[in-house]
């Protein structure tokens, strides 16, 4: 998508051939983008060019193919740095996804944690940004404090200055909730955390699908996201960290590609990001992710956001019209991402989503890997519709029509 002026929902949709397929004889209405979104053809083409023309390992071979694959791999790193507004590409680590990135940071930081240290996590986190910290409580004796939620599931930051104390070493929060679509006030959190000398790790898995992020403006210390939710391939993700922090961390995995010198007795590791990329990386996926990020950066984000808000408004109005429906997060289209979780009185979300599937409408039902949040809200599961840039009014209308059919069956 190089010419941003020619943007239209239809031209965008044409880049996703998967949208032409049918499900149970019905046109596909895919609204589970928060789980995994589709990728445009340019991503598949970039990966297929690698596979068919220069497949080889990176940072090893001096022959032409090796040079080309290393260049393409490092070009993807430049794209990721630009996408996050990192100060340098040396701050970008390619991982297998957000889950891996959280585990990497939790393990590496914990090497310097002591009993009595505190970490602060919110109740609304995805399990990927919850369990690794919970394990540190068991393994290192650190205290894990929780940021509570309001009745709608958004974070309650009113007592934050008492939760983050001078014993706090780290605050780990998501940028956008995968359940409520609520946007976290990161500036407020980093202000308080840094004042107490704590670092801030941000799970950006649900934020990067909605446009480039500025880690410098957010003033955070670590930021992670997954390729497959940001129009890129599965099996790849990005972890960004401030260069001086990466230099101070011990490695996570050890092996080839991350050393300066190995002797029979000891090993000296590379510094910065290279210390964290042991072994052969997912090369085709990294190159595909680079293409996805270039594609995302070329989109006209002001227009896209207006368009997403228009679709959100249509969906919100329809949902709030349904009797007995409880919508989580903001009840307006502003100050939220287009992720809508709802509970319909006396209808289990698995039944709701099963019947929606008969109409070609794909929604996610369940606890969304956020059981502590479900517990806090007195829920077991919700149905969740999440909108991507290629969705259109017909997707929203199909969902609302199918929901009425669901109600006829279940009520």
Instruction: Please identify every residue annotated as catalytic.
Output: 369
| 98 in contact with ligand PMP (CB under 6 A) | yes
Residue among 37, 70, 79, 174 that touches ligand PMP (CB under 6 A): 174
x/- mask, ligand PMP, residues 25-44, rule CB under 6 A, reads ----------x---------
Query: Rounded to an integer, what distance in angstroms lies between the CA atom of residue 394 and that of residue 384?
Result: 18
x/- mask, ligand PMP, residues 122-161, rule CB under 6 A, reads ----x-xx--------------------------------
Closest to 6 (Cα-Cα) out of 303, 232, 389: 303
Least distance to ligand PMP, CB of residue 143, Å: 23
Q: Which is nearer to ligand PMP, 57 or 371 (CB)?
A: 371
Least distance to ligand PMP, CB of residue 52, Å: 27
Q: Which is nearer to ligand PMP, 77 or 126 (CB)?
A: 126
Residues in the chain: 411
User: Total number of residues binding ligand PMP (CB under 6 A)?
Assistant: 14
- Residues in CB range of 251: below 8 A, 6 or more apart: 108, 258, 269, 275, 276, 278
Instruction: Decide: 80 and 92 in contact? Cβ < 8 Å.
Output: yes
Tokens representing residue 207 in the block: 């934020």
Residues 312-371 touching ligand PMP, rule: CB under 6 A, are 369
Instruction: Decide: 267 and 259 in contact? Cβ < 8 Å.
Output: yes
Query: Rounded to an integer, what distance in angstroms lies between the CA atom of residue 54 and that of residue 67?
Result: 9
Q: For residue 336, list its beta bridge partners.
A: 182
| 178 in contact with ligand PMP (CB under 6 A) | yes
Q: Which is nearer to ligand PMP, 128 or 182 (CB)?
A: 128
Residue among 99, 154, 208, 391 that touches ligand PMP (CB under 6 A): 99
Q: Which is nearer to ligand PMP, 293 or 402 (CB)?
A: 293
222-226 and 199-203 as β-strands: parallel, antiparallel, unpaired?
parallel
Instruction: Decide: 249 and 108 in contact? Cβ < 8 Å.
Output: yes
Element (H, E) at 406: helix 393-410
Sequential DSSP letters for 69-83: HHHHHHHHHHHHHHH
Least distance to ligand PMP, CB of residue 318, Å: 24
Residue 13 Cα to chain centre, angstroms: 22
Residue among 203, 221, 330, 343 that touches ligand PMP (CB under 6 A): 203
| 226 in contact with ligand PMP (CB under 6 A) | yes
Residue among 80, 104, 205, 344 that touches ligand PMP (CB under 6 A): 205
Q: Which is nearer to ligand PMP, 68 or 203 (CB)?
A: 203
Least distance to ligand PMP, CB of residue 193, Å: 19
Closest to 385 (Cα-Cα) out of 179, 229, 207, 211: 179
Instruction: Please give the residue ranges that form the binding site for ligand PMP (CB under 6 A).
Output: 35, 97-99, 126, 128-129, 174, 178, 203, 205-206, 226, 369
């Amino acid at each position: 998508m190089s010419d941003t002026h020619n943007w239209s929902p239809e031209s965008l949709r044409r880049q996703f051939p998967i949208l032409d397929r049918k499900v149970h004889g019905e046109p596909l209405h895919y609204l589970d983008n928060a789980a995994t979104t589709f990728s445009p053809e340019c991503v598949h083409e970039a990966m297929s060019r690698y596979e068919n023309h220069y497949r080889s390992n990176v940072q090893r071979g001096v022959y032409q193919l090796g040079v080309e694959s290393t260049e393409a791999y490092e070009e993807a790193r430049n794209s990721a740095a630009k996408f996050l507004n990192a100060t340098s590409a040396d701050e970008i680590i390619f991982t297998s996804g957000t889950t891996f990135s959280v585990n990497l940071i939790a393990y590496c930081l914990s090497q310097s944690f002591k009993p009595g240290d505190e970490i602060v996590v919110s109740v609304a986190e995805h399990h990927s940004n919850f369990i690794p910290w919970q394990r540190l409580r068991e393994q290192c004796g650190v205290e894990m404090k929780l940021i509570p939620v309001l009745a709608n599931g958004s974070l309650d930051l009113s007592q934050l200055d008492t939760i983050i104390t001078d014993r706090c070493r780290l605050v780990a929060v998501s940028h956008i909730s995968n359940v409520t679509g609520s946007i976290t006030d990161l500036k407020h959190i980093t202000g308080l955390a840094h004042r107490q000398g704590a670092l801030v790790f941000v799970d950006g898995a649900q934020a990067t699908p909605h446009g480039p992020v500025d880690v410098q403006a957010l003033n955070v210390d670590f930021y992670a996201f997954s390729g497959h939710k940001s129009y890129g391939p599965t099996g790849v993700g990005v972890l960004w960290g401030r260069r001086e922090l990466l230099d101070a961390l011990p490695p996570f995995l050890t092996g080839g590609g991350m050393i300066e010198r190995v002797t029979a007795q000891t090993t000296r590791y590379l510094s910065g990001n290279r210390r964290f990329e042991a072994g052969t990386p997912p090369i085709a996926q990294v190159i595909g992710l680079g293409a996805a990020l270039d594609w995302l950066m070329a989109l006209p984000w002001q227009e896209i956001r207006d368009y997403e808000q228009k679709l959100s408004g249509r969906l919100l109005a329809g949902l709030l019209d349904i009797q007995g429906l409880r919508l989580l997060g903001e009840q307006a289209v502003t100050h939220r991402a287009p992720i809508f979780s709802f509970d319909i009185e006396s209808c289990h979300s698995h039944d709701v989503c099963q019947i929606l599937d008969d109409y070609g409408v794909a929604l996610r039902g369940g606890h969304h890997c956020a059981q502590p949040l479900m517990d806090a809200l007195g829920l077991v599961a919700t149905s969740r519709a999440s909108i991507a840039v290629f969705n259109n009014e017909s997707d929203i209308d199909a969902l609302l029509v199918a929901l009425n059919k669901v109600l006829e069956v279940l009520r």
